[in-house]
Amino acid sequence: MRRNFIAAFMLAACIGMVSCDDTTDNLGGSLIDNGDKLSIKADTFNVASETMVADSVIARSSTGYLGRMIDPETNTSVTGNLMSQFHVLSNYEMPAKDSIMSRDANNEIIADSCDIRLYYSNYYGDSLSQMKLTTYELSKPVEEGVTYYSNFDPETRGYIRPVAQGGIAEKRSFTLTDYTEADSIRKMKGYNRNIIVRLNNPYKDKAGVTYKNYGTYLLRKYHQDPSAFRNPYRFLHEVCPGFYFKIDGGYGSMAHIQTAQLNIYFKNKQNGKVSAISTSFVSTEEVLQLTNFSNDNTQLQQLANESGHTYLKTPAGLFTKLTLPVSDILNGHSTDSINSAKVVLYRENNSSISGYQFGIPQNVVMVPADSLHSFFANNRLPDNKTSFLASYNKITNSYVFNNISGIINLFARNTSMPAWGKVVIVPVELLTVTQGSGSNQKKVITKVSHDMGLSSTKLLGNTSTGKNIQISVIYGKFNGR
């Protein structure tokens, strides 16, 4: 180990280097009388690292994902399937029954057509890749107030309404660039890209009543009991539990789904004029939207077994675990305070050649290994005491944790922790709000969740000697009292 002894006259420079927070448990007050002396010294230690398979993570991303991609760097596949529910407002209204002009031979109201549109803001891969999709009707709603994980599968958990009982199982092939829509529509100003699922086949409800299509079912249910369409709980439990969108074939694209919208089209008469109109139900944050991810865990484990580097891979893929040399850091420093502990994780550049590389994780958190679940389950934010945030720096090609002294002190005080000395690096998605104005404007993090996008990178480390990752520690000690 290399030890650098810093003279007392360097105090001002060192204090400028050390961040002030309440993690330096032994640090004295800011007012020092002339009788006190502060000695400071620094040391560096190697940090061991390894890759761990995430298996599944808490699914709380505001974005849904639908598609299948193969990571060209690791040759592993990932599939995203989407479950979505629809929200209703307390003042929702449809046109009066006698104003609806779309009728069947028995003069009953009908919907001319019905569809679900999955609006996406962005996508991975090739927008012309051919994908196969099946849209399933849920038999019951996926309930709120439950923690769901990225491997939650409505199909295997019994949430799908069987086709034999009238449940919807609408199959279609699609490309993200939808050539089934006219060029004139796709080129219109304000056009929002979407995946269309048409629900125009005859539909049988749970009571055994058959309707022209799903839209007709909704129209008639509304006019039987409008109040069920003005209460979200009743709508989900009595009318429309939601839908599950499952990728059945193809690979090469994955859409970032922002909103699902259920549309009913029919003719309506108003002021003596008949026109084609529609009414819609939209997925919002008030109801659940979950993405079920399917990874090849055998391939992921093979990657985790590699040496010479570690991985960060999302969604629900691979994390990097560090073993901090706490005993070495504390050895001989029982009366010293740890003023600063800095760790830099350098990224290994991707050597594969492909036009569809996964992105680099932009933000990561460091948390104690035995607090990994509770950090996300309890919606915690990085506190710079026992959890820390770092962003990818493309200039240095690294993630920098400037001062994790708090976590060293945590381990020093709690030597019986099950995963003592171990921390996990996890890619995350940040939700921020802007506060203040003018020069006082700043972004404040309001939510940290697992990154559910497609990202992958290697980090230097995971060698037998522990090289390539180091922790730089600055100690302080007051004398003279």
Buried b (16+ CB within 10 A) or exposed e, 169-207: ebeeebbbeeeeeeeeeeeeeeeebbbebbbbeebeeee
Q: How many CB atoms lie within 10 A of CB 22?
A: 10
Comparing 20 with 153, which gets the higher pLDDT? 153
Q: At CB < 8 A and 24+ separation, what contacts does 358-361 make? A: 358/69, 358/71, 358/72, 358/73, 358/124, 358/454, 358/455, 358/456, 359/453, 359/454, 359/455, 359/456, 360/392, 360/455, 360/457, 361/312, 361/314, 361/392, 361/427, 361/451, 361/455, 361/457
pLDDT band at 456 (very low <50, low <70, confident <90, very high): very high
Q: What percent of the chain has pLDDT over 90?
A: 72
Average pLDDT of span 210-215:
98
Q: State the pLDDT at residue 52.
A: 96
pLDDT per residue as tens digits for the range 30-78? 445 555 677 889 999 999 999 999 988 998 777 899 999 988 877 888 9
Which segment of 59-73, 155-169, 241-255, 356-370 scores lowest on mean pLDDT? 59-73
- With a cut of 50, say whether residue 201 has pLDDT above it: yes
Q: State the pLDDT at residue 438.
A: 82
Q: State the pLDDT at residue 429.
A: 93
Average pLDDT of span 434-458:
90
Asked whether 251 and 129 are in contact (CB, 8 A), the reply is yes
- With a cut of 50, say whether residue 279 has pLDDT above it: yes
Structure tokens at 421: 């000395």
Average pLDDT of span 273-283:
97
- With a cut of 60, say whether residue 146 has pLDDT above it: yes
Which segment of 89-103, 141-155, 235-249 scores lowest on mean pLDDT? 141-155
Q: State the pLDDT at residue 6.
A: 40
Comparing 444 with 189, which gets the higher pLDDT? 444
Average pLDDT of span 256-277:
96
Average pLDDT, whole number, for the chain? Answer: 89
H-helix segments, 192-249: 214-224, 232-234
pLDDT per residue as tens digits for the range 353-383? 667 788 999 999 999 999 999 999 999 999 9
- 471 bridge partner residues: 45, 343
Q: State the pLDDT at residue 22.
A: 45
How many Cα atoms occupy the beta-carbon half-sphere of 75 within 13 Å? 6
The SS3 of residue 437 is coil
Q: Say if residue 156 is exposed, middle or buried (CB neighbours under 10 Å; 0-12, 13-18, 19+).
A: exposed
Which segment of 64-68, 207-211, 465-469 scores lowest on mean pLDDT? 465-469
pLDDT band at 7 (very low <50, low <70, confident <90, very high): very low
- Give the type of residue at 259: T
d(CA 214, CA 225): 17
Comparing 238 with 144, which gets the higher pLDDT? 238
Q: State the pLDDT at residue 31.
A: 46
Range with top average pLDDT, 5-14, 68-77, 225-234: 225-234
Asked whether 84 and 243 are in contact (CB, 8 A), the reply is yes
Q: What percent of the chain has pLDDT over 70?
A: 91
- 401 bridge partner residues: 343
Q: State the pLDDT at residue 466.
A: 60
Asked whether 265 and 246 are in contact (CB, 8 A), the reply is no
Length of the chain: 481
pLDDT band at 13 (very low <50, low <70, confident <90, very high): very low
Phi, psi dihedrals of residue 417, rounded to the nearest 5°: -60, 140
Structure tokens at 131: 């994908």
pLDDT per residue as tens digits for the range 423-438? 999 999 998 999 888 8
Q: State the pLDDT at residue 11.
A: 39
H-helix segments, 266-424: 297-304, 326-330, 372-377, 405-413
pLDDT band at 172 (very low <50, low <70, confident <90, very high): very high
pLDDT band at 439 (very low <50, low <70, confident <90, very high): confident
Question: In 3D, which of 360, 312, 305 has the Cα closest to residue 459?
Answer: 312
Average pLDDT of span 238-261:
96
Comparing 221 with 75, which gets the higher pLDDT? 221
pLDDT band at 25 (very low <50, low <70, confident <90, very high): very low
